[in-house]
Amino acid sequence: MTHFENAEQAKRDPLYKEALTELLYQFADDDFILAFRGSEWLGLAPHIEEDVAFSSITQNTMGHATFFYQLLEELGEGDADVLAHERGPESRKSAVYLEKENGDGHYLDEPFYDWALTVVRHYFYEEFKQVKLELATRSSYQPLADAAQKVLMEQPYHLAHWKMWVKQLLAAGGEAEERLRARMVEAWGEFKDVLELGPKAKQMADAHLIAGEDVIETQWVERVETTVGKISKQQLGKKQGSGRSGEHTGELTIALKTLSEVYDTDRTAIW
Amino acid sequence: MKVPIEETNKKIYNVLKHVDDPELPGVSVFDLGMVHKVEVSGKGAFITMIPTFTGCPALDIIAKDVKVAVEKLAEIDCCKVEFSYRQPWTTDAITEKGKEQLKKHGVSPPPEHYTPGEEWSVDCPFCKSPFTSMENVFGPTACRSILYCKTCKNPFEAMKPVVKYLVN
Ligand SMILES: [Zn+2]
């Protein structure tokens, strides 16, 4: 297996670089959109301690996104800030489920956000992120392996937090459990897109960038079901389309527009 | 007169012992274990640093503070600072002096023995009491948690333990 020590080496192999950048965009764009959805909760979380915790996790997750955009910058994809803020929905590789709005209403007037959706989405996502990062520590691209190792030293705090919420709300029974279960079933019908590696999956495997998506799926299902039990008799689905192939909903378009409004107010500011 | 490189190197380390983390005044980047390597070539210095948390918004400020401080040395005209992720930062890298400085700042150093994913506790930085409780793992910055001392009834912060993640 060919090992690539740095960006310069990777750039000399166009096919390798193509698969590598695709994978890095997935890591970066997933963290980016989920951190944005998290930031919309600022000041609205169920209690003050949660507000502090959630915003800390969100800031750290945005830091991880920036970290992956920097790896893309090293590969000649352009400035990391530009990659984060100036790419349209069609070039985003994040999964569709992650762009789903937090609930009805809008941040600025009546945000009827759903805590059940947030708890389920973040818990499912953090379990997935941990699996994908663990597999990436063995990547043939050394800077990605290093990045995965680094992020894994911080990310388990995020996972532990959402796992605690899931366990407590399920144990509470009644409406809390019902609403959580409903959101889990909904997620089950859409989450396959998150677990997939997209159109270049085979190229990624051939280049030993990361293990196959079947491995990601198996490990994710096993870990999630250990915590919450069996979710559904149905197959995992991707009802909302394949974000990995660039398919997205209008909800991403609006999110990116909101983000760029802030970004456009001062393009030189450090975010 | 040519100054030996080792001398300059030593001087740079001395400077780094006085560049503080902007979020922890009184605690230097050296004592936090963030300095990985110092290289000198002619009148240029190249410093490799290890970031604490990836999402740490203070990194750019730290890089600038280090550059400005080192370039004040007569031996150095230009100092470049780079962050490297090749050697992950762990809280074990904090020096003894760093731990003492943290306590003066009302922040407990991270626990000595910690298993990822498990609960942890530290002694109160003010009265040293072990009777403390975790209020919020997530504190004002990514690297700190909020605790409460049941003995002297003071809230305090602690550096979150960060250790190497072992992949099975
Ligand atoms: Zn005390």
Domains of chain A with bracketed CATH? 7-265 (1.20.1260.10)
H/E element, B148: strand B144-149
Contact A150 B54 (CB under 8 A): yes
B135 contact A CB<8A? yes
pLDDT digits (tens, 9 = 90+) for A173-218: 999 999 999 999 999 999 999 999 999 999 999 999 999 999 999 9
CA distance B62 to B68: 10
**Does B138 touch chain A if contact means CB atoms closer than 8 Å?**
yes
DSSP assignment, residue B27? E
B57 touches chain A (CB under 8 A): yes
Instruction: Using CA coordinates, name the residue in chain A closest to B137.
Output: A53
Stretches where chain A sits below pLDDT 50 are 271
> Is A53 in Cβ contact with B86 (below 8 Å)?
no
C-alpha–C-alpha distance, residues B57 and B80, integer Å = 19
Q: What are phi and psi of A61, to 5 degrees?
A: -65, -40
Nearest to B85 among A53, A150, A270 (CB): A150
> B146: CA distance to ligand 1 center in Å?
13
- On whether any CB of chain A is under 8 Å from the CB of B164, the answer is yes
Q: Do A160 and B117 touch (CB under 8 A)?
A: yes
Considering CB atoms only, which of A56, A57, A151 is closest to B54? A151
Report pLDDT for A201.
97
Q: Which of B54, B135, B168 sits opposite A64 (nearest CB)?
A: B54
Residue A202 is encoded by which pair of tokens?
């085979």
ipTM: 0.82
Mean pLDDT by groups of 10 residues along chain B of 168 residues: 78 96 90 95 94 81 96 95 87 92 91 82 93 90 90 94 84
Asked if B113 reaches chain A (Cβ–Cβ under 8 Å), the answer is: no
The ranges assigned to domains in chain B are: 5-83, 98-159
At B133-157, the pLDDT tens digits run: 999 998 878 888 999 999 999 999 9
Indicate the residue of B55, B136, B146 with minimum beta-carbon distance to A59.
B55
CA gap A167, A162 in Å, rounded: 9
Answer yes or no: are the C-beta atoms of A26 and A198 closer than 8 Å: yes
Residue A267: predicted pLDDT? 64
What pLDDT is recorded for position B115? 81
**Chain B residues touching A147 at Cβ < 8 A:** 85
Nearest CA among A252, A149, A232 for reference residue A192: A232
CATH class in words for B5-83:
alpha beta
pLDDT, position B59 = 86
Phi first, then psi: what are they for B39, rounded to 5°? -120, 140
* pTM, rounded to two decimals: 0.90
